[in-house]
Amino acid sequence: MNLGLFRHLVEASEPLAVDRIAEKTKAEPQLISRLLRYLAAIYAVEETGRGKYTANQTTRNLTEKVVEAGISHYFGLSAPQYQCLPDLLKKIGYKAPVDDANTAFHLAFRTTLDPFSWFAQNPAYLADFHAYHALRRQPDATWLSVYPVETETAGWPADRPLYVNVGGGIGHQCAQFKEKYPNLGGQVILQDLPHSVAEAFPTPGVVNMAHNMFEPQPVIGAKFYHLRAVFHNHPPHKVRMLLETIKAAMKPESVLLVDEMVLPEEKVNYMAASVDMTILAAFASMERTEAQWATLFEDVGLRLVRTYKYSPLTYESVMDVRLS
């Protein structure tokens, strides 16, 4: 993929010889020959004759941006953690990990930093992370497709904060919110750590604010506090800490929008189950059922009002959570 091999085959109008592919990729012909022989054996490319190759549907799929980002993300970041997970589980006595300072991520990358602090020192991995998570979601599969924003914001004062996207990365959610509701009054605010906010989109009407979500929330009494796939990146004790922090900033009319997978009680599909394994390895965290989410909210004095599912295949939903 780094050689652009798949893309060269897709862009060619006829099968390419090994020497021509080597010339295009600036790689040794013998290496290219052996790589293509293997790729043809697993049907990732098609061998049309001795030393000649062309693209097939798999090759074309491998040039899609979301696929390239996903392979880079999982091969570079997730796979090393999976390789270390058996050692971690043995070390902690085969219990569910709960210590986010002692995870398969730490073993894999030989670091004492948490993943997001480590990202700040390894921007290439951060770029793959953001690209994959942005590209893998279809534009219409968001909480905005199911949640009654206009009903909830009717009469909202223009001088009060409207929407705070906590842990919002480089601003995809804020950009989508402003695009769909450009005329709603009130501030739209992106919050994340400085290294993410530094790369944020310059979306008109969005305030980009560097903020550590575990510190007191500086925006008081917003209508919406939206956290998209944030809680599942933290172990249970930090999830409760974060809920308490946001709860302290909420007013009676505020809504905490928890945008996460909500697993069914049985027959979870492989995609959601694999994500659960990934976050177990990286963060000592977990995906949850609706009952588990409701109990978690109740424990900190919040209540789950309603769950709006917007992606049935992946169980992605937005939960409307309010003060008890």
Full-model pTM: 0.83
H/E stretch holding 304: strand 302-311
d(CA 290, CA 281) in angstroms, rounded, equals: 22
Q: Alpha helices, DSSP H only, in 49-170?
A: 57-61, 65-73, 79-91, 104-109, 115-121, 123-135, 149-152
* Confidence (pLDDT) at 58: 97
* CA 253, chain centre distance (Å): 29
What is the set of active-site residues?
Answer: 232
* Confidence (pLDDT) at 236: 93
Tally the residues of the chain.
Answer: 324
Longest distance between any two alpha carbons in the chain, whole Å: 72
d(CA 284, CA 232) in angstroms, rounded, equals: 9
pLDDT tens-digit map of 13-27: 999 999 999 999 999
Q: Alpha helices, DSSP H only, in 153-235?
A: 172-180, 194-197
* Confidence (pLDDT) at 160: 97
Residue 171 is given by DSSP the state S
* Confidence (pLDDT) at 139: 60
* Confidence (pLDDT) at 50: 96
Residue 77: which of 131, 137, 135 has the closest Cα?
Answer: 131
- Contacts with 118 (C-beta within 8 Å, 6 or more apart), sequence order: 105, 109, 111, 125
Burial of 245 (0-12, 13-18, 19+ CB in 10 A): middle
Burial of 109 (0-12, 13-18, 19+ CB in 10 A): middle
Question: Does residue 173 contact residue 209 with C-beta atoms inside 8 Å?
Answer: no
* Confidence (pLDDT) at 138: 60
Residue 231 is given by DSSP the state G
Structure tokens at 231: 């809680």
The ranges of the chain with pLDDT < 50 are none
Per DSSP, the residues of 116-127 read: HHHHHH-HHHHH
Rg (CA), the chain: 23
Question: Does residue 246 contact residue 167 with C-beta atoms inside 8 Å?
Answer: no
